[in-house]
Chain A
Amino acid sequence: MAKDKVKERVNWPVTILLIIGLITIIFPLYMAVVIAFKDPSEMTNDIAGILSLPSTWSLDNFIEAIQVTDFFHSFMNSLIITVVAVVVSVLVHSLAAYAIGRNMDHKRIFKWSYYFIIAGMYVPFAILMMPLVKQTAVMHLDNMVGVMILYVVFYMPMNMMLYTGYLRNVPIALEEAARVDGASTWTTYWKVIFPLMKPMHATVAVITGLAVWNDVMTPLVIMGGQGVNTLPLAQMNFQTAFSTNYNLAFASYLLAMLPMILFYIVAQKQIIGGVTNGAVK
């Protein structure tokens, strides 16, 4: 009973500390927002000029950014790539992690497969880039499909690590019970294990989703110059060799951020939801 009471009490000191800590986030964010609203001619070289509010809160930069980046097309392309990459990653990586994680302690081939895949995390992209350009072209994958496949492969090592780590906390007894009931390994996985990993799915989805959403190099080299843009590709238009329109660029970055914040908030609910799940178990 007393325990429950402790649980319900709001921990104010921690809340207040965390709110104070927000300064480190809000301050740079404030600068980004202010710059996004300013006209290039309002940019100056001193503190007052940097921190001052824009002379008018006009949405011109945002409107122009939407036009320059062909926002809705680029947005849809980014969205399609991100959603497919995230969904496939969650399904495939968790499944692969299950196969590997449950066997790596006693079967050599799984153990080596694990280290083999994890090692892929340390391959610098720059070395893969040119060979991949050639390879995707030969395979007719120099398009959005190719980009999605590459993401599923690129984030496999990290996600494998996250999922296998989480699986260690999922008791093996649960699936053994299902097996005794006659369920196949395949069914057991989807019915029992997959739902249990919900908090990790949300985490993987957020991390993979953001990395994909913001990535510029992969689409640039694989499908660049074909007239099909993702948002980060379109945002490169603000930067030419000798001039950068930071004001437009920032406006467009803030626009591109919004869906990710919403996505994160939704995913957070899943992570918090996972706590109650864990309590039930």
Chain B
Amino acid sequence: MLNTPITRRSLLGLGAAGAAGLMFSGCATERADGKIEVEIVSYKQEAVSIFEQLMDEFNAAHDDIYLNITSPADAVTIMKTRFVREDYPDVIGIGGDADYASFVDSSILANVSDCDTISKVSPAYQDILKSVTYVPMDGIYGVPYVANAAGMLYNKDMFAEKGWTIPETWDDMIALFDEIKAEGEVLPIYLGYLDTWTILSPWNSITINMVPSDLARQVNAGEAKFSDYYREPAERMLQLLEYAEDGPFAYSYNDACTAFARGQSAMFPCGSFAVPQILSVNPEMNIGMFAMPSAENPDDRIVVSGVDLQWCVAETCEHKDAVYEVIAFLNEEANVQTYIDDQRAIPCTEGNYTLDPLYDDIQPFLDEGKVLDYLDHSYQSSMACDAQIQTMLLSGDVDAFLEKWDTDWQRYNRSVIRKVQDYESQQ
């Protein structure tokens, strides 16, 4: 029924032939001055000044390679339009997210397992990156650079002043919430659920501790159902509502950041990525982060962490050596330290780094590799999982939520499931 007269392979062949014939602009083109140009398009627009600085350093030290890093606004759209034009940058800097998965799926990215820098990347982040693609890939399609983490952000000064301690179990946390609520001065947490993606932060950190780490893959292989695992996380999400602002669905992510920054709430279940926005409202604030205590045994707690920036090389790139030299340069310890200081990031490579005080409480987890990727990286964005959770939180109907989730999953992941099953049958 699903006849595919044009097979993927033949189309790829056609595309490659077309690209070779047209060659709008080659990858790593040679410049008039004989240098090889390496072009990087990075989606980290907020890090533009760091990369400009690193770029100047690199170019001053090299007379054979010219490095050009750009960080345009809405870079992912720009990358996609350049792919359409078959005008591939040598390197794209993106997160280990759904866009990355779909770029890999579209055969745009090259296998970089021959890049020396890979050996410096900590195993945890290599695994995290592997878990992002729809089907397990044999190669490695990106060199992880830095990561972010999610859990519970808390107001360090407020905790110190009130003598509150960091909860290690769910019950401890609820007890702390009750205590804060009873005092009535501030809210225990602020949610800001108007923006649906904000809901994914607590959802990820709660759920990751309560379900098998490869649940999505099990479901795709027809071995499990979400409804067997997602009931408890859903109930805990509902429980959080009792300790947040009234009507959290009216308040945006920005409102939540502002409220937390102004001390209206003691905690904010979000990620390190929210810190710049919070600090823009209150630059003096001391923010900490602790692991969401939703594991049954405190020793099993896991921190959600994902690759925030990685270097992916275009399949068409012809100067991989020059590109690898650039990647090696960017991953030099001093340069990584510069980046993580400025962006409050977590390095993905092993080395002797000083992390931002924000990570004091989760440093042990990072050191021991007790980290797993954001669950939503395995959700199809067109399925609007965040909106489904929002619907459940509004209606309180967990049964309907679970049923719809399983049905929709099958529908939106049809092609992925087919790929996974093909893959498994080949194994």
Residues of A within 8 A of B (CB): 40-41, 43-45, 130, 133-134, 137, 142, 220-222, 224-225, 227, 233-234, 236-237, 239-246
Contacts and interface: CB of A to CB of B under 8 A. Distances in A.
Contact of B84 (A45, A130, A239): A130
Contacts of A225: 41, 70, 72, 75, 78, 81-82
Given A240-B46, A244-B254, A227 B280 contact: no
B414 interface: no
28 contacts: A40-B280, A41-B280, A41-B283, A45-B255, A45-B264, A130-B84, A133-B84, A134-B84, A134-B85, A137-B24, A137-B84, A137-B85, A142-B85, A220-B74, A220-B77, A221-B77, A224-B74, A224-B77, A225-B72, A225-B75, A236-B73, A242-B273, A242-B276, A242-B277, A243-B274, A243-B280, A244-B254, A244-B277
Interface residues of B, number: 31
A241 B273 contact: yes
Contacts of B199: none
B311 to A, nearest CB: 18
A41 B282 contact: yes
Given A137-B24, A236-B74, A243-B280, 14 more contacts: A41-B281, A43-B258, A130-B81, A133-B81, A133-B85, A134-B85, A225-B41, A225-B70, A225-B81, A239-B73, A241-B273, A242-B276, A243-B257, A245-B280
Contact of A224 (B81, B87, B280): B81
Contacts of A240: 45-46, 73
B411 interface: no
B418 interface: no
Contacts of A243: 46, 257, 274, 276-277, 280
Contacts, number: 71
Contacts of A44: 258, 262
A45 B259 contact: yes
Given A133-B84, A134-B84, A225-B75, A237 B277 contact: no
Q: Give the secondary structure class of B's interface.
A: helix
Interface in B44-71: 45-46, 70
Contacts of A239: 73
Task: Indicate the member of B255, B264, B273, B280 with the most A CB atoms within 10 Å.
Answer: B280
A227 B45 contact: no
A224 B71 CA distance: 11
Contacts of A40: 280-281
